[in-house]
Every structure is written in structure tokens, then in C-alpha cells.
């Protein structure tokens, strides 16, 4: 009979066993175990006495039936029939060892009871080893016979696991019991584990990746290094980029330990893994001092940065957090998430959702007064450059007058600290969004100089945050999912990037250092070429860029041209970078900015407001850009 014929019969037999009810499967296993124990009893004599049918065996032949039958209840009691064969683990092996011990005890007990002195003592040891091996062997064989859920093993997608540690072993076990993948190898840069085997699969050095891809047809690599730092993950990912494999990863160690995610919840490489910059640990004294036991308000609480600020605040144990948001569903979503976080915290944290617009000063002031707000983090803003460019009046109203409304409400309510969340696009702005944020910065500086004696005002400025609404990363991810093309405005566009959690953490720490009129700038690291980011995201999705050099690639990159008001590169400081002063935190500097006194700035803002309320809002953009032109400002000395 050919191997194909044998496999076909084995598959049919395995499917027949699978259709049996649970009780039927146990009966089949029990009958098989009876045969194993009977054969082991005979073999224990035959092997010891080197005779296929020794007289000593014939003298006690009836025990070949009695021992297995009397052992069966013991096997049941120690859990031999409790495990599901396809999902056997260490507890099942221990149960089988216990079962073999029970059976040899029955053998020895009967021999002692009936005073059979002809039984060789070593037969007991031989019998124990044969029964233990037989019980385990028949289950391993059955495990191979039984069909897996889903596709047959040979038809499943071959994958490699990077990381031969405990996380990699657990992931391999989970994939083995799944229905989509089969692990064909591990990759690990530790020479001590290379060329060893885990779950029957070899551990290879990473430099063998190309050969493994060719040999097994691998299209996916799973990273199982949950405790690795971002820089370390970048080291691992970089050598994988040239190969046509999709790189996915298990969640981080903190998510696994907290129960927020399982080790088998594979996800695509996060954009922050592409940066490779390790975040600086937060200054807990700064964070706790401005949050613990206090009442804080976040405007724009449902937005990308605002919602992360809320999460960071709640994790630090405030007395109360007021969520101010104009959009109903984002407010509902973040309020529910924060309630869950607060319930898991032993400290009593009050979550207060407030529907309102930052242009409504009365509602802002009433909310701040009613709940005793001590600090305000003003993240509410329109930030999408092309949309604000096409709709300048709503952008200016929210970003400029909404900021003024909020800061005036904070001053009237006696709030201790007001933090404006700004953007690098406010530096030498060429678009309405950047100019409106720059004017808001100037207004905060000017009002701080007025010194009302109660509210410390400051600004925190930083670049793009990864995966925020409107960020290029989710746009690229969606375009890859749809088969392209990826749209890049210009091949030389560079941007600063930072993760949302890191940005939110630094905003809170900067706010804690406020003295009044400060402009804090976050250290964004080295700028990233957007085209390079696009190439990396395509490659790490297991695809290739289609261009003149590779016409058979999968995803095309299309250059759409710079949009109105868009610059090739952004800046973080308006003046001389050397004039910026360090702070107690290495990722935060205090800038020396230029500005106007409020008495001069107020007139221009009133004119702008009049233009915004006019029926046609003519010349509103020109007036805005004139107000923020650098030559109209005067240097201000930082505190």
C-alpha cells in the first residue's frame, strides 16, 4: 500500500474517532489501555527471562487479565481519562505516570496476596516502564491521527516565530492547536539556543531567514518578545524589512500581565516600533504632584491626545477628572473606558463627563467652579491642515477664540494651572491651522504677562503623534489594507513623530513645571522621512513596493504634491535653538519665544473676530497670517 493510501486510511480512521461522543472515545481508550497493560505484563516476564513464553508466566497467566481489569478504575481515579487527547499537556503526562504506578501496585499486590514467589522483582520495574510508555505512546499516536480543526496541517500557512523564550513556546503551542498556521521554525539571536529543538521545531539564527523563506514558503514572522524595549524591537525588525514577509507581534508584557490582551492576539507592527527611540521614564514626582488627589479638566477629552491625557491622569489617582467635549459619542466612549479604569483602582476617582463647546465660556466657567477644577489641559482644537485650510473660520473660532474662552473661564474660576496643547505647525506657520495655533500661543503668553495672580498659563508644543486622528500612519495602514496606492505628498517631506502615550505623559510633566508664560517644547528626536515610513510599512506587511525598479510589486506609492499651506519640514522653535533652556526633564526644554503685549494683540484679535462673524468672512486668512508674522513680535524673556 502506498504512503498516500495509508494516509487516506489514517485520516478516515481519525475522523471516525472524532465523530464518537466523549464517552465513546473514553471506552476506546480504556480498551486500548487494557491491551497495553496485558502486553506489558507478558513482556515483563519475557524480557526479564529472555523467553517468549516462560514457565513462570504460565503459572500466573490469569494475572494477564486480572491486573489490567483491576487497574482500570485506578487509572480513572488518577485522571488518565480526564484530558482531551488533542490538548494534552504536562498534567496529562503526570496522570499517566500515576496510572502506571497504580497498575504496578495492583500487579505487586496480587502477587503478594496469592504468594507467587516466582515473579522476578525486576519484572515490576519493566512493567511500570512499559505501561507508562504505552499509555503515553498510544495517546501521542492518537493525537497525530485525529484531524485538527480547519485545514489539514500540510495546507496551513507556514510561519516563523522570532523569540525562543517562554512567550515563543506558548505562542507555538497556541498556534499548534489553532486552524490557520503551522510553525516551521524559531528565530533567535542567542547562540545558546540555536540548533536546539522546541516542540519538535528547530531554532535557527536570524541570518538563515532567507533560506527558511525559500524552503518553507514562509510569508509571516511572529515576534514573541513582549518584554523587549522599543529600541530592541527596532533592532529585531530592521533585518526583517528587506524580506517579503509580514511581521506581526504579540502584545507587550504589561498588556499580557494585566489581562488586557492574550499572548495569541497577534497584531501588525505598531508604528512606534519603526521609530526605535526608547521613551524616557517619567518623573513620577512631577506627575504625582500635579495629579494625585486633585481635580483636573481636559478639554477635547474625546480626541486622540485628549483621551490619552485622560487615561494617564486617571492612572495617577486624581480625586476627580472633568471631561469637556463637544462630540457626544467620543465623550461617551472615553467616559466608559475611564469608568472601567477607575473601578479597578482602590482610590475613589470621580469621572465627570460634560458636553459643551469651548466657545461657551459660561458653561466652561460654571463647570470649573462647580467641580473645583485645579488644572486645565486644553487639547480641544481643529488640527487637520487641509480641512482647516478649506474652512478657516471654524478653525480660527475653535483654535483661537475657543482657547481665549477657556483661559478666561479658568482665570475667572480661580484655576491654578492652564496648559495649552500646541503643535510644531505653529512655528513660522504657512497654513491656517498652524497660524491659528500660533495666535493661541501668543495670546497665552500675553495674558500670562498680565499676571492675574491666580492662574499659571503655559504652552506645550510638539510634533506629530503616531496613530492620532488624521495622522499619516492610520492612513497608510488603511491604504495598504485596500491594496494601495499609498499617497505621499512629496518624496522629501520629513516630520517629527512621537507616540500618543509619550506625548501625553510629557504634557503632564511640562505642565507641572509651569511658572507662568512658559513655552515648553518636547524633544521629538530625529525627524522621519515620510517616504521611508511608507516603504517600511509596506515591507513589514509582507508586500513589496511597486515602482520602476520593481514593476511586479504589490503596492504603489503615489506622490500627490504638497497641499495648500503644507511645508516640506516642520520646526519646533521660533527663535535660535541655542536659546532654549533645559528643564529638570531631559525631554522637555523651555523656549525663548517672541510675542506681543496683550494691549497690542487684543486689537488684532478683535478685528479678526469681527471678520469671522462677517457674512463672507473676507480677508480672514490674510489678517490671521499678518497677526502671527514674526517681524511684528518682540522677544520675551522666559521665566
Q: Please write the tens of the pLDDT for every residue from 256-280.
A: 545 555 545 666 776 666 665 566 6
Q: Does residue 4 register a pLDDT over 60?
A: no
Q: 605 is written with which cell numbers?
A: 484679535
Residue after which a domain boundary falls, among 231, 246, 269: 269
Inside any domain, residue 373:
yes
Q: Which of 63-72, 187-196, 449-458 has the lowest mean pLDDT?
A: 449-458
Q: Does residue 471 register a pLDDT over 60?
A: yes
Average pLDDT over residues 555-570: 82
For residues 324 and 437, membership in a common domain is answered with yes
At 396 the pLDDT is: 95
What total of structural domains would you count in the chain?
3
Kindly write down the DSSP assignment for every residue of 101-128, as one continuous string: HHHHHHHHHHHHHTT-TTS-HHHHHHHH
Kindly write down the DSSP assignment for every residue of 369-427, as one continuous string: HHHT--EEEE------HHHHHHSHHHHHIIIIIHHHHHHHHHHHTT-SEEEEEEEGGGS
Residues above pLDDT 70, as percent of the chain = 84
At 381 the pLDDT is: 94
Four-residue CA torsion sign, 252, 255, 261, 267: negative
Q: Comparing 377 with 346, which gets the higher pLDDT? A: 377
For residues 518 and 593, membership in a common domain is answered with yes
Q: Does residue 516 register a pLDDT over 50?
A: yes
For residues 113 and 250, membership in a common domain is answered with no
For residues 608 and 571, membership in a common domain is answered with yes
Q: Which segments of 513-575 are extended strands (E)?
A: 518-522, 528-529, 545-546, 555-559
Q: What gap in Å lies between CA 279 and CA 621, rounded to an integer? A: 38
What CATH number is attached to the domain comprising 235?
A: 3.40.50.720
Q: Which long-range contacts (CB under 8 A, 24 or more apart) does 237-241 make?
A: 237/269, 237/273, 237/274, 237/540, 239/206, 239/209, 240/162, 240/209, 240/540, 241/536, 241/539, 241/540
For residues 125 and 193, membership in a common domain is answered with no
For residues 26 and 128, membership in a common domain is answered with yes
At 8 the pLDDT is: 47
- Residue 366 — φ and ψ, nearest 5°? -60, -40
Whether 432 and 392 have beta carbons less than 8 Å apart is answered as yes
Q: What gap in Å lies between CA 612 and CA 602, rounded to an integer? A: 15
At 264 the pLDDT is: 52
Inside any domain, residue 48:
yes
At 364 the pLDDT is: 97
Q: Comparing 167 with 263, which gets the higher pLDDT? A: 167
Average pLDDT over residues 611-639: 71
At 271 the pLDDT is: 63
pLDDT tens by residue, 108-165: 888 888 888 778 888 889 999 998 888 888 877 776 655 555 445 556 788 899 888 8
What is the separation, in whole angstroms, between the first and last Cα of the chain? Answer: 90
Q: Does residue 375 register a pLDDT over 80?
A: yes
For residues 387 and 454, membership in a common domain is answered with yes
Tell me the pLDDT band of 459, cut-offs 50, 70 and 90. Answer: very high
For residues 109 and 238, membership in a common domain is answered with no
Range of the domain at 577: 284-463+498-527+566-635
Average pLDDT over residues 624-635: 69
Number of Cβ within a 10 Å radius of residue 76: 15
Inside any domain, residue 202:
yes
Query: Which of 21-25, 333-337, 347-351, 421-425 is the most confident on average?
Result: 333-337
Residues above pLDDT 90, as percent of the chain = 23
Average pLDDT over residues 36-62: 87
> Of 484, 421, 463, 469, which Cα lies nearest the Cα of 275?
463
For the chain, the average pLDDT equals 82
Q: 318 is written with which cell numbers?
A: 486624581
Average pLDDT over residues 175-188: 81
Q: Which residues of 479-501 are buried (b: 16+ CB within 10 A; e: fewer)?
A: bbeeebbbebbbeebbbbbbbbb
Whether 410 and 380 have beta carbons less than 8 Å apart is answered as no
Inside any domain, residue 129:
yes
Q: What gap in Å lies between CA 382 and CA 384, rounded to an integer? A: 6
Inside any domain, residue 492:
no
For residues 206 and 227, membership in a common domain is answered with yes
Q: What gap in Å lies between CA 356 and CA 349, rounded to an integer? A: 22
At 257 the pLDDT is: 46
At 10 the pLDDT is: 47
Tell me the pLDDT band of 634, cut-offs 50, 70 and 90. Answer: very low
For residues 157 and 112, membership in a common domain is answered with no
Q: Comparing 615 with 369, which gets the higher pLDDT? A: 369
- Residue 454 — φ and ψ, nearest 5°? -120, -40
Inside any domain, residue 61:
yes
Q: Does residue 85 register a pLDDT over 90?
A: no
Residue after which a domain boundary falls, among 102, 123, 145: 145
At 220 the pLDDT is: 87
> Of 495, 473, 508, which Cα lies nearest the Cα of 587?
508
pLDDT tens by residue, 529-547: 888 888 888 877 778 888 8
Inside any domain, residue 545:
no
For residues 302 and 450, membership in a common domain is answered with yes
The residues facing 299 across adjacent strands are 324, 378
Residue after which a domain boundary falls, among 269, 301, 322: 269
pLDDT tens by residue, 212-252: 988 888 888 888 887 777 777 778 888 887 888 888 887 65
For residues 260 and 296, membership in a common domain is answered with no
Q: What gap in Å lies between CA 174 and CA 65, rounded to an integer? A: 40
Inside any domain, residue 554:
no
Query: Which of 75-84, 189-198, 265-274 is the most confident on average?
Result: 189-198
Q: 59 is written with which cell numbers?
A: 503459572
Q: What gap in Å lies between CA 10 and CA 144, rounded to an integer? A: 9
Q: 25 is written with which cell numbers?
A: 472515545
Amino acid at each position: 500500500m502506498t504512503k498516500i493510501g495509508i494516509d487516506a486510511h489514517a485520516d478516515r480512521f481519525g475522523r471516525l474517532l472524532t465523530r464518537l461522543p466523549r464517552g465513546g472515545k473514553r471506552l476506546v481508550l480504556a480498551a486500548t489501555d487494557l491491551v497495553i497493560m496485558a502486553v506489558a505484563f507478558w513482556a515483563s516476564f519475557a524480557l526479564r527471562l529472555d523467553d517468549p513464553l516462560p514457565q513462570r508466566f504460565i503459572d500466573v497467566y490469569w494475572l494477564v487479565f486480572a491486573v489490567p481489569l483491576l487497574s482500570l478504575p485506578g487509572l480513572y481515579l488518577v485522571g488518565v481519562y480526564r484530558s482531551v487527547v488533542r490538548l494534552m499537556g504536562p498534567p496529562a503526562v503526570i496522570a499517566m505516570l500515576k496510572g502506571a504506578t497504580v497498575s504496578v501496585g495492583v500487579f505487586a499486590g496480587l502477587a503478594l496476596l496469592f504468594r507467587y514467589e516466582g515473579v522476578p522483582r525486576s519484572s515490576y520495574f519493566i512493567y511500570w516502564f512499559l505501561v507508562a510508555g504505552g499509555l503515553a505512546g498510544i495517546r501521542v499516536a492518537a493525537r497525530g491521527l485525529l484531524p485538527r480543526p480547519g485545514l489539514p496541517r500540510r495546507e496551513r500557512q507556514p510561519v516563523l516565530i522570532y523569540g525562543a523564550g517562554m512567550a515563543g513556546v506558548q505562542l507555538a503551542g497556541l498556534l499548534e492547536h489553532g486552524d490557520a498556521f503551522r510553525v516551521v521554525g524559531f528565530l533567535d539571536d542567542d547562540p545558546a539556543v540555536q540548533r536546539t529543538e522546541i516542540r519538535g521545531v528547530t531554532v535557527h539564527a536570524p541570518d538563515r531567514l532567507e533560506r527558511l523563506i525559500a524552503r518553507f514558503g514562509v510569508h509571516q514572522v511572529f515576534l514573541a518578545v513582549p518584554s523587549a524595549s522599543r529600541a530592541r524591537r527596532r533592532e529585531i525588525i530592521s533585518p526583517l524589512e528587506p524580506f517579503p514577509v509580514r511581521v506581526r507581534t504579540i502584545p507587550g508584557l504589561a498588556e499580557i500581565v494585566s489581562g488586557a490582551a492574550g499572548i495569541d492576539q497577534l497584531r501588525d507592527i505598531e508604528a512606534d516600533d519603526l521609530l526605535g527611540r526608547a521613551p524616557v521614564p517619567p518623573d513620577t514626582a512631577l506627575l504625582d504632584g500635579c495629579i494625585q488627589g486633585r481635580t483636573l479638566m481636559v478639554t477635547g477629552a474625546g480626541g486622540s491626545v485628549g483621551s490619552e491625557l485622560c487615561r494617564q491622569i486617571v492612572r495617577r489617582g486624581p480625586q476627580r477628572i472633568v471631561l469637556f467635549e463637544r462630540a457626544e459619542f467620543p465623550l461617551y466612549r472615553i467616559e466608559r473606558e475611564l469608568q472601567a479604569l477607575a473601578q479597578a483602582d482602590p482610590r475613589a476617582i470621580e469621572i465627570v463627563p460634560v458636553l459643551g463647546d469651548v466657545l461657551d465660556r459660561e458653561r466652561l466657567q460654571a463647570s470649573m467652579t462647580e467641580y473645583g477644577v485645579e488644572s486645565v489641559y486644553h487639547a480641544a482644537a481643529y488640527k487637520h491642515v487641509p480641512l482647516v485650510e478649506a474652512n478657516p473660520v471654524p478653525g480660527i473660532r475653535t483654535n483661537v477664540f475657543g482657547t481665549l474662552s477657556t483661559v478666561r473661564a479658568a482665570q475667572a474660576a480661580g484655576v491654578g494651572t492652564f496648559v495649552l496643547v500646541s503643535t510644531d505647525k505653529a512655528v513660522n506657520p504657512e497654513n491656517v491651522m498652524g497660524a491659528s495655533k500660533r495666535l493661541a500661543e501668543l495670546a497665552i503668553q500675553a495674558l500670562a504677562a498680565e499676571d492675574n495672580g491666580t492662574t499659571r498659563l503655559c504652552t506645550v508644543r510638539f510634533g506629530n503623534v503616531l496613530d492620532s486622528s488624521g495622522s499619516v500612519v492610520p492612513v497608510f495602514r488603511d491604504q495598504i489594507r485596500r491594496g494601495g496606492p499609498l499617497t505621499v505628498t512629496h518624496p522629501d517631506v520629513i516630520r517629527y513623530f512621537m507616540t500618543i502615550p509619550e506625548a501625553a505623559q510629557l504634557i503632564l510633566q511640562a505642565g507641572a513645571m509651569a511658572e507662568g508664560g512658559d513655552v515648553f517644547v518636547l524633544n521629538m528626536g530625529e525627524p522621519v522621512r515620510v517616504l521611508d515610513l511608507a516603504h517600511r510599512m509596506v515591507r513589514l506587511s509582507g508586500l513589496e513596493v511597486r515602482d520602476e525598479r520593481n514593476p511586479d510589486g504589490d503596492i504603489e506609492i503615489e506622490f500627490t504634491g504638497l497641499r495648500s499651506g503644507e511645508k516640506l519640514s516642520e520646526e519646533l522653535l521660533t527663535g535660535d535653538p541655542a536659546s532654549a533652556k533645559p528643564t529638570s526633564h531631559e525631554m522637555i526644554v523651555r523656549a525663548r519665544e517672541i510675542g506681543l503685549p496683550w494691549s497690542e494683540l487684543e486689537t488684532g484679535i478683535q478685528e479678526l473676530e469681527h471678520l469671522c462673524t462677517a457674512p463672507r468672512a473676507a480677508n480672514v486668512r490674510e489678517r490671521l497670517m499678518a497677526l502671527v508674522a514674526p517681524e511684528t513680535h518682540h522677544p520675551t524673556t522666559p521665566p
